[in-house]
Amino acid sequence: MGKYEKLASDIIKNVGGKENINSVFHCVTRLRFSLKDESKANDDFFKDSDEIVTLMKSGGQYQVVIGNHVPDVYKDVLQVSGLSADVGSDSDQKDEKIGQKILGYIQAIFMPYLSVLSAAGIIKGLATIFDIAGWIPAGSGLGILIAAIGDSVFYFMPVYVAYTFSTKIGLNKFIGITVALSLIHPSVTGIAEDTFIFGVNVAGLSYSSTVLPAIFGVVVAHFVAKFFDKVIPDVVKTFLTPLFTLLITVPLVYVFIGPVANGISDKIYMVISALTTTSPIIAGAISAFFWQILVIFGVHGALIVPSIIALIQGTPDIFISFIGVAPFAQMAVVLMMWLKTKDPKKRSLMLPAWISGVFGVTEPAIYGFTLPNIKLFIAGCIAAAVGGAYIGMTNAYTYRMAGLGIFSIPGAVSAENPANLMNFLVGHAISIVLALIFTFVLYKEEDTNVNEEAASKAKDKLGIKKSEIIIQPVKGQVLPLNQVNDKAFADGLLGKGVAIVPNDGKLISPVDGTVTALFPTKHAIGITSDNGAEILIHVGLNTVELKGEGFDVKVEQGDKVKAKDLLMEIDFNLIQDKGYDITTPVIVTNTKDYLDVIPVTNSKEKIIEVVF
């Protein structure tokens, strides 16, 4: 298991358990669940958890916003739940509305390999840069190999589509993949001479770098396979069903359905292109202004699909350029907030959020800082709109699918249109500069912790003001908690903290607070600080078996205490003579109520810092 095993377990539990999950996959920042019954999920857990940014429900999906590390959390969710890494079958989702189903199909087809698609686009952009600069000529051996790496994902796109869509609708994945591979086999791709199949001239047909033919092919194969599964005896259906499915599906799609699918794809992009070219300035401004709002509600993924398809097919796209300025505008807002604030805690949180946004992941910054200050969020949207308008005015296209944030830049590189990259960068610079100016004028230090409802109840503790120090309650060597010879303490299951190997018998209060728990066996004491930290001091391991022998308690449950007040005296020699480990864990049992609980093992007095 990975380091997010406990978080994964909590997530599975609070979505209603494994049995309530139809499917789960992730995008850049979110776990996207399709649940059988959303009423079984515990919404409050996801909205209140310090390890989760927030919860969104959109497009029939239960979206748990995690942040940049969502791939690692996703892996642990799969391991904890035993779910497959596949997208998940659609069979249990009969009650979804048609719009939700369509959105679910789109996301299931494209999201699983979007990161690889982006990486390939970046490689293609870098290859162009290397060639222009003369570092790695395109015709050199290494240049050819690098180009092949970038081109492979796009060329074999039908295979990716066939795999994810077959998984989604429940077709044998290898039948789907074989259909796609057959369509792009070199012997039937771009045939130069007139060649007839069923009386149809198939010369020039090509399905490499396409999407819709593979989708239609999988649909046809799905129904053909279902038919033969019903009529073929079980003893031979294992190989006869794929046999007949492929022999029927591939010719049908290659000759008749594929050309229609390509035509539909061309028409869709023509319509979108017409909308963006009729008034590109207005289109750019509107797209850039609303993009981050759509991101908040988690419905942005479907809108970029036509652009992704166009880029896969090698057609430059401007919509990707429009929306690309929006994250940079929001990041500029956070950067100026960081520059202006004098609160070190706010600064320490803003900087990582800003860095995350520079790489295209804006949720931490939006939910943590710009939305709670709604006027700054809107200012960022307006700045983005101006940058988007400039992109439209100068026709700064994206030429290939690339990454998010700064990794989108290689996508705008064009050897045939060198000015394109400059216009692309200027559009982004306009958004950044305007957002910085707007924030400089509008930002007020005292406003940073208000409008929590406007932040969709995102982690309210991101607007922190202070921390609490927990001092060492007994003299001795301070150790990391994971060195305790007890799994519950060592794994942090009871909360974060430290362990102490005592060399003195006096146990003092680590905080100002109240004695809220005093065990009859005297081996453990609980104190709640005046600021709310619930601290457990567990003297030794398994010392409950001593039934109070060796412990002289000086306080009673309910007593008010000050830091360094004597709580009890302990005969550690007696405890050791009886064979018990005297290692004493000191933990904050309500760790989840705080932004962070920071163990300190190198201080003379402080052992834990609780961050509000």
Question: What SS3 string covers 359-412?
Answer: CCCCHHHHHHHHHHHHHHHHHHHHHHHHHHHHHHHHCCCECCCCCCHHHHHHHH
Residue 95's pLDDT band, with cuts at 50, 70 and 90, is: low
CB 508 within 8 A of CB 480: no
Question: Measured between alpha carbons, how far is 462 from 75 in angstroms, rounded to an integer?
Answer: 26
Question: Measured between alpha carbons, how far is 31 from 66 in angstroms, rounded to an integer?
Answer: 7
Instruction: Number of helices (H) and strands (E) in the chain: give both, helices first.
Output: 20, 19
Instruction: Provide the pairing of β-strand 534-538 with 524-529.
Output: antiparallel
Question: Residue 588: what residue type?
Answer: V
Query: Between the ranges 243-247, 446-450, 603-607, where is the mean pLDDT highest?
Result: 243-247
In the sheet with 61-65, reading across from the earlier edge strand, the strands are: 21-26, 30-35, 61-65, 54-58
Which residues touch 59 (CB under 8 Å, ≥6 apart)? 99, 100, 103, 104, 107, 298, 299, 302
Of 82 and 268, the structure prediction assigns the larger pLDDT to: 82
CB 157 within 8 A of CB 209: yes
Task: For residue 213, count CB atoms less than 10 angstroms from its CB and return exposed for 0-12, middle for 13-18, buried for 19 or more.
Answer: buried
Q: Please write the tens of the pLDDT for every residue from 434-479.
A: 999 999 999 887 655 433 333 333 333 333 335 688 999 999 999 9
Q: In the structure encoding, which two tokens stand for residue 114, read together?
A: 């979007």
Q: In the structure encoding, which two tokens stand for residue 227, read together?
A: 């038919």
CB 464 within 8 A of CB 347: no
Query: According to the model, what pLDDT value does residue 449 have?
Result: 42
Q: What percent of the chain has pLDDT over 90?
A: 52
Q: Compute the average pLDDT of residues 58-85.
A: 82
CB 215 within 8 A of CB 165: yes
CB 41 within 8 A of CB 15: yes
CB 2 within 8 A of CB 75: yes
Q: What is residue 551's three-state secondary structure?
A: strand
The alpha carbon of residue 118 and the mean position of all alpha carbons in its chain are separated, in whole angstroms, by 15
Q: In the structure encoding, which two tokens stand for residue 37, read together?
A: 């019954």
Question: Measured between alpha carbons, how far is 612 from 599 in angstroms, rounded to an integer?
Answer: 15
Question: Measured between alpha carbons, how far is 460 from 595 in angstroms, rounded to an integer?
Answer: 9
- Tell me, what DSSP letter sits at residue 178? H
Query: According to the model, what pLDDT value does residue 448 have?
Result: 53
Q: Compute the average pLDDT of residues 320-324.
A: 94
Residue 397's pLDDT band, with cuts at 50, 70 and 90, is: very high
Q: What percent of the chain has pLDDT over 70?
A: 90
Question: Measured between alpha carbons, how far is 127 from 407 in angstroms, rounded to an integer?
Answer: 14
Query: According to the model, what pLDDT value does residue 539 have?
Result: 94
- Tell me, what DSSP letter sits at residue 601? S
Q: In the structure encoding, which two tokens stand for residue 202, read together?
A: 């198939």
Question: Measured between alpha carbons, how far is 586 from 602 in angstroms, rounded to an integer?
Answer: 15
Q: Please write the tens of the pLDDT for every residue from 511-555.
A: 999 999 888 889 999 999 988 899 999 999 989 889 899 999 999
Residue 306's pLDDT band, with cuts at 50, 70 and 90, is: confident
Q: What is residue 555's three-state secondary structure?
A: coil
Q: For the chain, which domains are there?
A: 5-85 (3.30.1360.60), 156-275 (no CATH), 279-462 (no CATH), 467-611 (2.70.70.10)
Identify the CA nearest to 611 among candidates 492, 464, 510. Answer: 464
CB 398 within 8 A of CB 317: yes
Is the pLDDT at 420 greater than 90? The verdict is: yes
Looking at every residue in the chain, the average pLDDT score rounds to 86
Residue 247: CB atoms within 10 A of its CB come to 11
Of 520 and 96, the structure prediction assigns the larger pLDDT to: 520
Question: Residue 394: what residue type?
Answer: T
Query: According to the model, what pLDDT value does residue 148 have?
Result: 94
Of 362 and 154, the structure prediction assigns the larger pLDDT to: 154
Q: Compute the average pLDDT of residues 396-412.
A: 89
Is the pLDDT at 322 greater than 50? The verdict is: yes
CA distances in angstroms from 514 to 40, 510, 556, 560, listed in the order given: 38, 11, 10, 5
Could you list the active site residues?
27, 538
Query: According to the model, what pLDDT value does residue 452 have?
Result: 35
CB 51 within 8 A of CB 5: no
Q: Compute the average pLDDT of residues 248-262.
A: 95
